[in-house]
Amino acid sequence: MSIAIVQFGGSNCDLDVLHVLRDVVGVDAELVWYKEEDLDRFDGIVIPGGFSYGDYLRAGAIAARTPIMNSVRKQVEAGKPVIGICNGFQVLTESGLLDGALTTNNYPKFRCEPTYLRVETTETPFTTGFKKGEVLNVPIAHMEGNFYADEPTLARLEQNDQVTFRYVDEKGRVTDEANPNGSQENIAGIVSTQKNVLGMMPHPERASEDILGSADGLKIFKSMAEYISGR
Amino acid sequence: MQYQAEVTIELKAGMLDPEGTTIKRALEHLGYGTDSVRTAKKYTITLQAKNIDAARVNVEEMCQKLIANPIIHNYEIFLRELE
């Protein structure tokens, strides 16, 4: 099994993801520069966080239109699991692989802090290791994380069980105070219609070892690896 | 012919514009009451095209494919021929 970690100019969580996959989960992972055109040899893909292209134009907009994203699309169509974290989520919405858009936080400030997430569905390749309703402690670090989708899209996301994580308080309650960026319905992460693409603003790679204060994010990568093994 | 397109991108009506809201508040601190402040971005693009219609088609495509995000933005194109 090998997982690709896509690097754009300005990606900066690539090495953290590499460390977690290789040293904590214990799977083969490789950094792949965005000029690479062939991702066929990989079984899964992570688009890490950072500030690809300096967030020029809109966060994720330029990276979403690079040729490597055509290869990512091809792997998605082949059913391989893909995770976009933070800027990676922005890249996935900008490329149309996920619904909606990530706009400026309702309080327009870069927020870097722990958040609590509730697992809304275990029917995805990334959440099989959790219990539904489980509350995770995973940090955010972003200024454009305010999830927006029009009403029909939002209804479809809810109906198809595509909302994967929601911002909640410590006890798992969806409240305005627990929503760090104004996201509709406190949405922190969604999957694609086929469920094999996950986008999330919080950083599970920053919460994958106890020494970091939380290892709650680890199961996302472990679930992904198990899903790949089972394919 | 060479044309210049001024493309204005703004958030759709009803969408939260936190930057605009912050500027509105700052204006209030200075004593200026406003009903609303909305932000927009402007891009100036010069390009070659056979005629102004061809230029418009081209710039429309640019907006659809990259410059705007149709989910959240409206855009306006102002085109003129350059001397």
ipTM of the complex: 0.85
Report d(CA A208, CA A24) in Å as an integer.
Answer: 8
Buried b (16+ CB within 10 A) or exposed e, A159-191: eeebbbbbbbeeebeeeeebbbbbbbebbbbbb
Domain count for chain B, please give it. Answer: 1
Q: Which among A58, A100, A104 has the least Cβ separation from residue B19?
A: A104
* Chain mean pLDDT for chain A: 97
Report d(CA B67, CA B73) in Å as an integer.
Answer: 10
pLDDT at B60: 97
B69 touching A (Cβ < 8 Å): yes
Substitution target in A95, A148, A154 with the highest count of B β-carbons within 10 Å is: A148
Chain mean position to CA A80? 15
Q: Provide the pairing of β-strand B73-81 with A197-200.
A: unpaired
pLDDT at A5: 98
Q: What share of chain A is helix, strand, coil (3-state, %, to 5)?
A: 30, 25, 45
The two structure tokens encoding residue A26: 């214990």
DSSP-derived secondary structure letter, A49 = -
pLDDT at A108: 86
* Chain mean pLDDT for chain B: 96
Low-confidence ranges of chain A (pLDDT < 50): none
Q: Residue B26 is part of a domain; what is its CATH number?
A: 3.30.1280.10
What share of chain B has pLDDT > 90, as a percent? 96
What share of chain B has pLDDT > 70, as a percent? 100
The two structure tokens encoding residue A71: 């290869």
- The answer on pLDDT for B14 being more than 90 is no
pLDDT at B83: 81
Within 10 angstroms of residue B5's Cβ, the number of other Cβ atoms is 22
Report d(CA A83, CA A75) in Å as an integer.
Answer: 12
Type of residue numbered A183: S
B37 touching A (Cβ < 8 Å): no
Q: Which residues pair with A7 in a beta bridge?
A: A33
Report d(CA A86, CA A97) in Å as an integer.
Answer: 15
Q: For residues A204 and A222, is the Cβ–Cβ distance under 8 A? A: no
pLDDT at B52: 97
Domain that holds residue B55: 2-81
pLDDT at A83: 98
Three-state SS annotation for B25-75: HHHHHCCCCCCCCCCEEEEEEEEECCCHHHHHHHHHHHHHHHHCCCCCEEE
Q: For residues A117 and A167, is the Cβ–Cβ distance under 8 A? A: yes
Is B18 strand, coil or helix? helix
Query: Average of pLDDT values for B46-53?
Result: 97
**What are the boundaries of each domain within chain A?**
2-230
Q: For residues A90 and A50, is the Cβ–Cβ distance under 8 A? A: no
Report d(CA B46, CA A215) in Å as an integer.
Answer: 52
Substitution target in B37, B71, B75 with the highest count of A β-carbons within 10 Å is: B71
Type of residue numbered A8: F
Question: Which of the following CATH numbers is that of domain A2-230: 3.80.30.20, 3.40.50.880, 3.40.718.10, 2.30.330.10?
Answer: 3.40.50.880
Q: For residues A23 and A208, is the Cβ–Cβ distance under 8 A? A: no
Listed by number, the residues of chain A in 61-120 with a beta carbon closer than 8 Å to a beta carbon of chain B are 61, 65, 94, 100-101, 103-108
Query: What's the pLDDT tens digit per position in A118-176?
Result: 999 999 999 999 999 999 999 999 999 999 999 999 999 999 999 999 999 999 999 99
pLDDT at A94: 97
Type of residue numbered A103: T
A58 touching B (Cβ < 8 Å): yes
